[in-house]
Structure 1
Amino acid sequence: MILNYFKSARRNLWKNKTNTIINVLGLALGITCSLGIFVFVNYELSFDKFHTNAKRIYRIVEHSKKADGIQHWPTTAYPLAEALKREFPDIGVTQTAGPDKKIISAKDQKGDVKRFEESRVMFADADYLRLFDFKNAFEKGLWIAGNAATAFQQPNAVVLTEKMAERYFGEVSNNYDDLIAKTLTLNNTDILTVSGIIRNPPANTNLPFDILINYQFFKSKNTYQANNWSGNYLGTTYVELPAGADPEKFEKAIDRFKSKYLKAEDNRRISYFLQPLSDIHTNSLYSSEPGSYVLGKEILWGLGSLAVFLILIASVNFINLSTAQAMQRQKEIGVRKAIGSTKAQLFFQFMSETFVLALLAGFLSINGLYGLLWIVNQKLSFIDLALKPDSQTWLFAAGLIGIITLLAGSYPALVLSGFKPAMAIKNNVQRKTSGISLRQGLIVFQFGITYCLLVATWISSDQMSFFQRKGLGFSKDAVLTINAPRDKKSGQLDAFRQELLQYPYIKDVSFASGAPLTQNWYGTDFRLKSEPVTMARQAEMKSTDTNYQRLFGLQLVAGQWISASNIVPDSVRFNGFVINETMAKMLNLSPEKAIGEKLVINEGEAPIIGVVKDFHNASLQQAIQPCVFMYSNAPEQIHVQLLATNGRISNLPQTLAHLSQIWKENFPDDVYQFTFLNESLAKNYFVEQLVFDAFKAFAAISIFISCLGLFGLIILTAAQRTKEIGVRKVLGASITSVVGMLTADFVKLVVCAIVLALPISWWAMHQWLQGFAYKTEINWWVFALSGIFAVVIALVTVSFQSIKAALMDPVKSLKSE
């Protein structure tokens, strides 16, 4: 019996090739996109779930009360971990520092020293790879050589990932045990001893590292930071609670014990909380771990909603085409019922047709999925995205096919199987059934979603353009950034600068902690000397030189920039600060009145000597932050401004080669690597770019699927009204009136969809834009143009078949059955 159902389904689908192609193509597109979104969302939700006790591991985060609000930090003071071990011996605790950039040196087989600048070097204690064991990430286990029990016994021990081991020691042919006790050099001075080799951590982790160095080594080299309870640097503390332990009770216990270690003022302002490991990757309240990124749950919910909408649109096509085709299958249904087919048998017959269509679409979507994932992986390669389907994907695909079969097939099957045999054989089933009104409602629903996606695409595009158009308040073009050398003698940087400035295609050089808008955010407390300690607020701190303001084009509104007269030679001391307008406002001072006021920050006390016009020191999602500039002779970055004409950098290849040569002559023991500032800034908006690309792609697919459905419906409508068209033409109707008659109903439904979807789309985009401190306006013409575009698309879709029907010979039309 079941085999007969599928044989009959195959014949009917082959007989109605056009509808079959439209349905399969629409469903395949919907399934492909839904599977792609599932893979991406599933990947984003899978971060760090592969550790044995992942559900019991928490990151300790810090909330710091300031006069201007609460600061949320994912990092904590370094001594916290050791205090927790003493106070709560029954819990697991691990402490990290970093990841950070370091220079690692290794000797090759010829004895030559090769240097590498690594950005994911992390210091970790002996408990780190016990808590984070990656057990379910690797079938053969995490450790290739060495083990967690002995790897951190030596203070200078280093654990390498497989990738790093091959980089430093070449192909080892799986003899990784031979690498144990080999040595590397850190920052050209400190010897590290290899104590273990582990597999490369998977990309879906918020604990990105390539090299692990014993945390005891960090403590010995950074005594002040390692013992400072008031500072918050790059230290992260994780705890593993015993089974059944209550996280809230543990938070209260920490709150009670911290007064034992913190100063009274720090105890008042600092609170510690537990953040579940599974929450780290999707909670945007806290900044991401260095080297990783945060993708908020609202983004994932939005992508999931798009997947649901695309499946619904494709299913709507099937329901509409199936119910519209019902008129052409009346006799078939009547004959089947007359010879004994029951309503249940007919229901399963039509459901089998839906299942075959969904199955065909599923097979097509497999190839489409691999293509889609390849595009996404390439697009987001800078975050090491490596999406691929797994067993969960195929289970989801199977469930999706089943859901589509029920969703798209059940209603048409009920309608078709419910025809009365006598009426069906006479082709006398009433056309104005509930199915017709439902079909109209589904068209409205379908185009309502399409309209919302069109509006979302337009407004997100406008927001991205706004980011690109809006001035940042500083010059960012033709500027490249080099990490400052670690080993430098007094005066060596100035000599390097003078050599560069002699080259005609180099315009300016500045040494600083970072560009005006940089991801390296260094905070400091600030207050006027006349204010009490409780008035301390948080500001960004930038260490700069005398050239910084000129190179980046920062505008002074009062006072002066840092000059030689403000600098104490061969020292990090300073005689004055420069602040931005936002900071002056927070001090309740005008730029002019701020000059000369004594300012106290964590790093010292000095008068304000200048105020610069506000510039964006954070991405445009955030408001401008208060900022203080101070002089330092220990920069972290070198900024080189190249000569450019009409926005085009002059003589770039030769200039880069000259830069490299001068670097090697001055700093032979340091690695030369550069990035263009423009490219670095673009990464600040990758989440927004992802949202925009998703809207753009899915809006196009939604339009295409909707148009497929309309095209199929107009074909069936024209076929059902063939005689009516013939009679109208014989009675003198023009081609224009016939085309208008066939298209009018569809256009009315599209206009109705626009009217209903307009307030929904406005509300949704208004809410989305609230997440940006600087945002474009929602203009009325966006909704008007989106509506016109939707109507035009509908008209173009139905007009071709309408004109074709109107041009038919009326004699042939009147002879048709």
Structure 2
Amino acid sequence: MIKNYFKIAWRSLLKNRFFSLLNILGLAVSLTVAILLITYGRQELSFNRQFKQEANIYRVLMQATAEYNHEKWSNLPNAVGPTMLSDIPEVKAFARLVRLDFTGFGSVNANEKNFFEKNIYLTDSSFFDIFDVEFTEGNKQLAFKHPKSVVISASKKENMFGNEPALNKKLIINQQDTLTISGVFQDLPQNSSFESDIFLNMMDSWMGKNVHWSNASYYTFCLLNSNANPKDIEQKTTAFIEKYVPKDRQYYTNFFLQPLSQVYLHSQDLRDNMSTRTGSIDAVKTVFILAMLIIFIACINYMNLATARSQKNAKEVGVNKVLGAHRSQIKFRFYMETGILSFFSICLGLLLATSVLSVFNTIIGTNIHVAQLFSLENIGIALLIWLVITLVGGSYPAFLMANIPSLSLMKNIITQSNIAQYIRKGLVVFQFTCSIVLIIGVIIISLQMRHVADKDLGYQPSNIVTIPIRSINTMDKFNTIKQSIQNLSGTASIATLQTFPGFGESGKTMHRRGETNEGLPVSTSSSRGPVVSALGLHLLAGTDLPEELAATDSTCYVLVNEVVSAYLGYENPQDAVGQRIPTEMSPNSVIKGVVRNFNFTSLKEAVGGYIYYRMLRPNESYRYFLVRYNTDNVAPYVAQIQQIFNQQLPDAAFDYQFLDEHIKNYYTAESRTNNIITSFSMLTIFIACLGLFGLAAFTAEQRKKEIGVRKVLGASIFKIVRLLSGNFVSLISIALLIAIPLGWWVFSGWLQDFNDKITIPWWSFALAGGFAIGIALMTVGYQAVKAAKANPVDSLRDE
């Protein structure tokens, strides 16, 4: 019997090739998008879950005091981990990580070749046990047994030494430290928050030996006993503040634990998240919601198209019922049709997903592999989607045709109850509501991202190249390189800085003279050279910082922004110039100049206090040249700088980064969301229009006799098109009325993440609605014109 049903269903699909292909196309596109989105969402959820002890590993976080706006920090003082292990029995182990030189950047000389690395970390030896790191050379228990040891990843070993063993070979970092390779470990998983390919022993450095409760630069992970209560551990760790930290140094209020599985997706609110691999749980939710919406819209489309097609099968179904077919058998036939069609669609969808995977990876900025599409889990999800589409998509035409009397079917009369018509219209409204909301989102997100790009940040990040200089090991070479760059025809100015805006500044507290209250948190950067002209800062009063100082000059010269100047009580920036103030850098600090506030972090955050300072022996070393250039031939200009470095530092690697590219990284998550919504809103519109096409065809089929009568009585094509299109315009207008407040609510919430945001313009809603109505009219108009041009003789005859 099933074989016969299969034959009947197959013949029906072949008989109605156009509708069948339309349905397969709509479902295939929908399933392609859904499969890709689900695969991406599953990959995001898989981060950090592959470690054997993952359930008992936590990252320790802390919350700062009111002077730091109660921020949550992922970096802590280095005393937290050792104290947890010694004072809390439930803590089995801890591991700290800190970036080399607080940046992670370094020039590495290995096997007489130079490499520039951006993820060099110092860590405790316990890291390899907590995260079950496997070694291919050496032994993780002995990796840091001897001083000056370093371990590298297998891919880094292959890059540096090829097929040769790397054990006991030397690495020279920044032309300063010669280290011995004591182990090679298997590459850490790509779906983990750990990016480093090179680990140094923290206990070889003052960073590990000098335990303190002040400098918060260390990422700390702890391994708990399986029966430990994380809330109890948080309370015990927070108690360390009163027990060990002097009152005047308590700039944090409590510690709390973050499960390892949440580090990747639940860290958007943290200051400094350790890894460039950061995700967003909101983005994952958005992806899954989009996938479910697309699958649901695909089901709606199938029902619309299948019902439109069923009009042509009415007599055949009527004959079946007259010959004794039961309702259940009629229903099963339509479910069989749906199952066959959706199966082909899923197969085609998987093939399409494979073919567009590289494009998807580019749009989303991810690295999904083809094997992930065909994993057992994904195949199971595809089968589940097939079952859902078969049951949901096939239900409406199955119940509709099974419940219509045989006589009506034989006369080709298919009438629907008011409830059925309302359901159909409601589904169309739902489809276009979703589509219009997505279009509104595209417009609002695009406007905000353009606002970010065009915003005056208070300095000019374009035409600036940043160059790491920690590998310069003598002052003679430093002066020679700097002067050589200055002499290039394309150089406008050059400054030597601890860091560039928004990357690795030191956090300090500013106090008014004679006060010991909470103070003002400020970001500081040591500077040597014309920082105002190099960064394009707006100098309000005073002068730039001096480049050269007398050998006996003990003054710390500071350049402050308006936030600092106002905090110190100077309403007029000019009044602040020349004033002596106490700073953490030196009690003998003098304000050399005041600059306009500038956004040194993303526009999501309010502008805080910022200080550039110049002194003979700064607390923080210089790490970068910031070079402002005034040439359009950027590649040859950078090549000239590289040649200067290679001549002066033949045993060090050269690297650079454009400052405006660094700033774009602040908005990676937003750009990804924009790309997702832009791409898939267009696909959603396309899929919705396929359903509208089917509904228009169904309506035209139902009203063909009416249309024939109207044409005989003299109705013009325009009037008939208006008659058929009017109802659809009404439905889309209703969708627009629902979508406008919904879109405003959803994307107003999205904008709240930005401290500096646009006001949503009224025309964004009009544009979204106009676009949706225009597309819908084009879709419906085709069927309406086709029906209006039909010969009325064909529609009025019974046979």
TM-score by structure 1 length?
0.92
**Residue in structure 2 matched with residue 562 of structure 1 by the alignment:** 545
**Residue in structure 1 matched with residue 676 of structure 2 by the alignment:** 694
Aligned amino acid, residue 764 of structure 1: V
Q: Distance in 2 between matches of 1:683 and 1:68?
A: 23
Match of 1:797 among 779, 791, 797: 779
Percent identical across equivalent pairs? 29
Residues 66/684 of structure 1: CA separation in 2 closer, same or farther (3 Å cut): same
Q: Distance in 2 between matches of 1:39 and 1:700?
A: 20
SS for the counterpart of 1:192 is strand
Deviation of 1:27 after TM superposition, in Å, equals: 1.4
Aligned residues: 786
**Residue in structure 1 matched with residue 440 of structure 2 by the alignment:** 455
**For each residue in 1:222-249, what CA deviation from the matched residue of structure 2 results, as whole angstroms up to 9, or x when unmatched?**
478x32321112x211111101210011
SS for the counterpart of 1:59 is strand
**Residue in structure 2 matched with residue 5 of structure 1 by the alignment:** 5
**Residue in structure 1 matched with residue 107 of structure 2 by the alignment:** 103
Aligned amino acid, residue 102 of structure 1: G
Match of 1:153 among 142, 145, 148: 145
Query: Does structure 2 conserve the Cα–Cα contact (< 8 Å) formed by 1:580 and 1:626?
Result: yes
Match of 2:280 among 290, 296, 319: 296
SS for the counterpart of 2:58 is strand
Deviation of 1:288 after TM superposition, in Å, equals: 4.8
Deviation of 1:607 after TM superposition, in Å, equals: 3.2
**Residue in structure 2 matched with residue 137 of structure 1 by the alignment:** none
**Residue in structure 1 matched with residue 93 of structure 2 by the alignment:** 92
Q: Distance in 2 between matches of 1:325 and 1:150?
A: 73
**Residue in structure 1 matched with residue 754 of structure 2 by the alignment:** 772
Match of 1:581 among 559, 562, 567: 562
Q: Distance in 2 between matches of 1:475 and 1:428?
A: 72
SS for the counterpart of 2:263 is helix
SS for the counterpart of 1:576 is strand
Aligned amino acid, residue 9 of structure 1: A
Q: Distance in 1 between matches of 2:308 and 2:502?
A: 59
Residues 616/258 of structure 1: CA separation in 2 closer, same or farther (3 Å cut): closer
Match of 1:169 among 161, 171, 177: 161
Aligned amino acid, residue 132 of structure 2: D
Deviation of 1:267 after TM superposition, in Å, equals: 4.4
Residues 267/655 of structure 1: CA separation in 2 closer, same or farther (3 Å cut): closer
1:618 maps onto 2:605 in alignment: no
SS for the counterpart of 2:425 is helix
Match of 2:198 among 207, 211, 217: 211
1:345 maps onto 2:329 in alignment: yes
**Residue in structure 2 matched with residue 305 of structure 1 by the alignment:** 289
SS for the counterpart of 1:474 is coil
**Residue in structure 2 matched with residue 549 of structure 1 by the alignment:** 532
SS for the counterpart of 2:141 is coil
Q: Distance in 2 between matches of 1:816 and 1:801?
A: 22
Match of 1:272 among 242, 255, 263: 255
Query: Does structure 2 conserve the Cα–Cα contact (< 8 Å) formed by 1:618 and 1:625?
Result: no
**Residue in structure 2 matched with residue 175 of structure 1 by the alignment:** none
1:237 maps onto 2:237 in alignment: no
**Residue in structure 1 matched with residue 386 of structure 2 by the alignment:** 401
Residues 599/60 of structure 1: CA separation in 2 closer, same or farther (3 Å cut): farther
SS for the counterpart of 1:212 is strand
Query: Does structure 1 conserve the Cα–Cα contact (< 8 Å) formed by 2:71 and 2:270?
Result: no
Q: Which runs of 5+ in 1 are unaligned?
A: 108-112, 135-141, 173-177
Aligned amino acid, residue 22 of structure 1: L
**Residue in structure 1 matched with residue 181 of structure 2 by the alignment:** 194
Residues 291/269 of structure 1: CA separation in 2 closer, same or farther (3 Å cut): closer
Aligned amino acid, residue 199 of structure 1: Q
Q: Distance in 2 between matches of 1:780 and 1:285?
A: 31
1:509 maps onto 2:490 in alignment: no
1:806 maps onto 2:791 in alignment: no
**Residue in structure 2 matched with residue 126 of structure 1 by the alignment:** 125
**For each residue in 1:252-274, what CA deviation from the matched residue of structure 2 results, as whole angstroms up to 9, or x when unmatched?**
11223444432233347442211
**Residue in structure 2 matched with residue 42 of structure 1 by the alignment:** 42
Query: Does structure 2 conserve the Cα–Cα contact (< 8 Å) formed by 1:281 and 1:288?
Result: no
Query: Does structure 2 conserve the Cα–Cα contact (< 8 Å) formed by 1:528 and 1:597?
Result: no
Aligned amino acid, residue 19 of structure 1: F
Alignment of 1:329-408 (within 5 A): 329-379=313-363, 388-389=372-373, 390-408=375-393
SS for the counterpart of 2:258 is strand
SS for the counterpart of 1:777 is coil
Q: Distance in 2 between matches of 1:2 and 1:287?
A: 62
Residues 429/666 of structure 1: CA separation in 2 closer, same or farther (3 Å cut): closer
SS for the counterpart of 1:293 is coil
Q: Distance in 1 between matches of 2:454 and 2:574?
A: 31
Deviation of 1:300 after TM superposition, in Å, equals: 1.5
SS for the counterpart of 1:558 is strand
Residues 429/810 of structure 1: CA separation in 2 closer, same or farther (3 Å cut): closer
Deviation of 1:360 after TM superposition, in Å, equals: 1.1
**Residue in structure 1 matched with residue 456 of structure 2 by the alignment:** 471
**For each residue in 1:734-757, what CA deviation from the matched residue of structure 2 results, as whole angstroms up to 9, or x when unmatched?**
111111111111111111111122
SS for the counterpart of 1:604 is coil
TM-score by structure 2 length?
0.93
**Residue in structure 2 matched with residue 54 of structure 1 by the alignment:** 54
Query: Does structure 2 conserve the Cα–Cα contact (< 8 Å) formed by 1:448 and 1:757?
Result: yes
**For each residue in 1:346-388, what CA deviation from the matched residue of structure 2 results, as whole angstroms up to 9, or x when unmatched?**
222211111112111111111222234312333466x767684
Q: Distance in 2 between matches of 1:197 and 1:466?
A: 47
Aligned amino acid, residue 783 of structure 2: Q
Deviation of 1:497 after TM superposition, in Å, equals: 2.3
**For each residue in 1:263-293, what CA deviation from the matched residue of structure 2 results, as whole angstroms up to 9, or x when unmatched?**
2333474422111111111121214544423
Query: Does structure 2 conserve the Cα–Cα contact (< 8 Å) formed by 1:26 and 1:705?
Result: yes
Residues 654/318 of structure 1: CA separation in 2 closer, same or farther (3 Å cut): closer
Q: Distance in 2 between matches of 1:26 and 1:470?
A: 41
1:652 maps onto 2:639 in alignment: no
**For each residue in 1:68-90, what CA deviation from the matched residue of structure 2 results, as whole angstroms up to 9, or x when unmatched?**
52132101111222222222355
Q: Distance in 2 between matches of 1:347 and 1:385?
A: 40
Query: Does structure 2 conserve the Cα–Cα contact (< 8 Å) formed by 1:526 and 1:599?
Result: no
Quote the RMSD (CA, aligned, Å).
Answer: 2.3
Deviation of 1:428 after TM superposition, in Å, equals: 4.2
Alignment of 1:655-674 (within 5 A): 655-674=637-656
Q: Distance in 1 between matches of 2:547 and 2:465?
A: 25
**Residue in structure 2 matched with residue 712 of structure 1 by the alignment:** 694
Deviation of 1:405 after TM superposition, in Å, equals: 1.8
Q: Distance in 1 between matches of 2:455 and 2:252?
A: 37
**For each residue in 1:538-588, what CA deviation from the matched residue of structure 2 results, as whole angstroms up to 9, or x when unmatched?**
2111222231101222111123321258x45499x6433211112334445
Deviation of 1:811 after TM superposition, in Å, equals: 2.7
More divergent stretch after superposition (460-469 vs 328-337): 328-337
**Residue in structure 1 matched with residue 744 of structure 2 by the alignment:** 762
Query: Does structure 2 conserve the Cα–Cα contact (< 8 Å) formed by 1:74 and 1:288?
Result: yes
Aligned amino acid, residue 510 of structure 1: A
Residues 629/795 of structure 1: CA separation in 2 closer, same or farther (3 Å cut): same
Q: Distance in 1 between matches of 2:167 and 2:484?
A: 44
Q: Distance in 2 between matches of 1:514 and 1:386?
A: 37
SS for the counterpart of 1:627 is strand
Query: Does structure 1 conserve the Cα–Cα contact (< 8 Å) formed by 2:149 and 2:180?
Result: yes
Q: Distance in 2 between matches of 1:308 and 1:743?
A: 29
